[in-house]
Amino acid sequence: MRIPFPDHVPPARDLGAVHFVGIGGAGLSAIARIMSQQGLAVSGSDTADSAVVQALRAEGITCFIGHDAAHLEGIQTVIASTAVREDNAEIVEAQRLGLRLWPRSAGMRALMADRRTIAVAGTHGKTTTTAMLTCALIAAGAKPSFAIGAQVASLGVNARLGRGDLFVAEADESDGAFLHYSPEGAIVTNVDADHLDNYGTIEAYAAAFDEFVASIGGFLVLDVDDEGARALIGPARERELEVLRVGFDEEADLQGRDLVIEGSTSTFSASLHGVDLGPVHLAVPGAHYAKDALLALGAGLLDGHHVDLLVAGLAAYTGADRRMQLLGSAAEVRVYDSYAHHPTEIRADLAAARAIAAGDRLVVAYQPHLVSRTRLYGVEMGEALSAADRVVVADIYLAREDADPTVTAALIVDAVDGPPASAGGPVDGLAQVLLSELRAGDLLLTLGAGDITTVGPAVLAGLQERG
């Protein structure tokens, strides 16, 4: 459901009692957590119980399972997920009562009142870069508030109210939310067309990033290795923003060199305008994570923090939920889970998984996310999955869309070139399909932005029973 952004967004302290429809999601749970820490009366509802919902309850937030108009008694503000349908009972009741009904972006904007904001935008890598920047700033003594799109192991949460004046926010472009934040500084990780169900064309998607740059007040850190991000240099300089070009390319102002990936770690050297900054050590594998760290380092430097402290914070980062996350191992099979759902992300995660597998067989179970994305990128998804040794593709996760019999997992399976590939059917039966395939030494990687998160734990339980 598309809810219009309001003409006026008061600070969060003036919202009264706030209810979140879809509170278990990464975005809304972060906003709810910070508003609760500010002293607001916060409640929420979701379709199913989850670890996130349970954690919010433990923090004193009332969370209902299921949606009911009665949940809005005493509520002044309702903030809803874009995944919620227009006929949702709580949405209908909020409209009937004339309550303040906001999209997620307005809730985030209310939190930014009276704070300096650094927003992290881009098609890929937002969550990791935001988390890395937060860890680096905390190590540097900044005490920021932060809102991140996943739980972060080294932080223990996805959001927190800080004592400093700085707010670090993951700025999601999927529904245009990032156009409402007006940050002091920003990072753009990359611009690689996605969410065309919302934007319609690749040109419109790219234009949204131009509009985002026009909302920035001070500095922009961007990946000069990425063509889409590099195209923002001109518009940023026209606005007289301080621009820091980051990358492993010779053109970069903040340059990474000599990247070494060994198992689950990465190391590279960094220099700023030719001055050596020393090595950067990461406890996560992959060239894409090294780039995220370099971008976070750049933003921390422009915000005025010491490089040694920032680098120490980056070294302390140990990963975020669903970003090449090790779920466990059983029967000599390692099981990882990741959020990748776009061909670029799939290629990057498979390259990282190859380094971790160290010669062992890589089995990938992938759940496509959205019919519209699969229609556009299905063939490229299959080509990216070809880097695995065995591929199983589950049914498409529909989310806010309806099924299309002409767009199915077969589109992806047919495009896999090399390894054996097959359709795995519904996610609730995928664990059994994988258990019949897995053998000692394998690395299983589950990929997708939907409910494939349930598969890894089910596989581990089955492997433990098998012994």
Class for domain 12-103, per CATH? alpha beta
Q: What is the pLDDT of residue 147?
A: 96
Print pLDDT tens along the chain (467 aa): 789 999 999 999 999 999 999 999 989 999 999 999 999 999 999 998 988 999 999 999 999 999 999 999 999 999 999 888 899 999 999 999 999 999 999 999 999 998 999 999 999 899 999 999 999 999 999 999 999 988 898 899 999 999 989 999 999 888 888 999 999 999 999 998 777 677 778 889 899 999 999 999 999 999 999 999 999 999 999 999 999 999 998 999 999 999 998 878 899 999 999 999 999 999 998 888 999 999 999 999 999 999 999 999 999 999 888 788 999 999 999 999 998 888 988 998 999 899 899 899 999 999 999 998 999 899 999 999 999 999 999 999 987 788 999 999 999 999 999 999 999 999 999 999 999 999 999 999 999 988 999 999 999 999 998 86
Cα–Cα dist 318/188, whole Å: 22
| Structure letter (DSSP) for residue 369 | B
Given the residues 82, 117, 127, 408, select the one marked as catalytic. Answer: 127
| Structure letter (DSSP) for residue 437 | T
Cα–Cα dist 62/58, whole Å: 9
- From the CB of residue 71, how many other CB atoms can be counted at a distance below 10 Å? 20
170 assigned to active site: yes
- Cα 18–chain centre separation: 24
Q: Answer whether 83's CB lies under 8 Å from 50's CB.
A: no
pTM: 0.86
126 assigned to active site: yes
DSSP 3-state of 322: coil
Class for domain 115-316, per CATH? alpha beta
| Structure letter (DSSP) for residue 6 | P
Q: How far apart are the first and last CA of the chain?
A: 46
CATH of domain 325-466: 3.90.190.20
The boundaries of every CATH 3.40.50.720 domain in the chain are 12-103
On the CB side of 323, CA atoms within 13 Å amount to 27
Q: What is the pLDDT of residue 21?
A: 98
- What is the chain's percent helix, strand, coil content, to nearest 5? 35, 25, 40
Strand partners, 266: 261, 282
Helices 26-37 and 51-58: crossing angle, nearest 10°?
0
127 assigned to active site: yes
Q: What is the pLDDT of residue 200?
A: 79
- Look up tokens 């990780």; give the residue: 189
Cα–Cα dist 323/127, whole Å: 9
The number of residues in the chain equals: 467
Given the residues 93, 170, 173, 345, select the one marked as catalytic. Answer: 170
Burial class (CB in 10 A: 0-12, 13-18, 19+), 398: middle
Q: Could you tell me which of 5, 8, 18, 184 has the C-alpha nearest to residue 104?
A: 5
Q: Which residues of 149-188 are buried (b: 16+ CB within 10 A; e: fewer)?
A: bbbbebbeebbbbbeeebbbbbbbbebbbbbbbebbbbbb
The boundaries of every CATH 3.90.190.20 domain in the chain are 325-466
Cα–Cα dist 283/278, whole Å: 17
DSSP 3-state of 410: helix
Cα–Cα dist 170/405, whole Å: 35
Sequence-distant (6+) residues with CB within 8 A of 67 are 21, 45, 47, 88, 89, 90
Q: What is the pLDDT of residue 467?
A: 65
Q: Could you tell me which of 193, 151, 158, 159 has the C-alpha nearest to residue 173?
A: 193
Q: What is the pLDDT of residue 322?
A: 79
Given the residues 126, 128, 189, 383, select the one marked as catalytic. Answer: 126
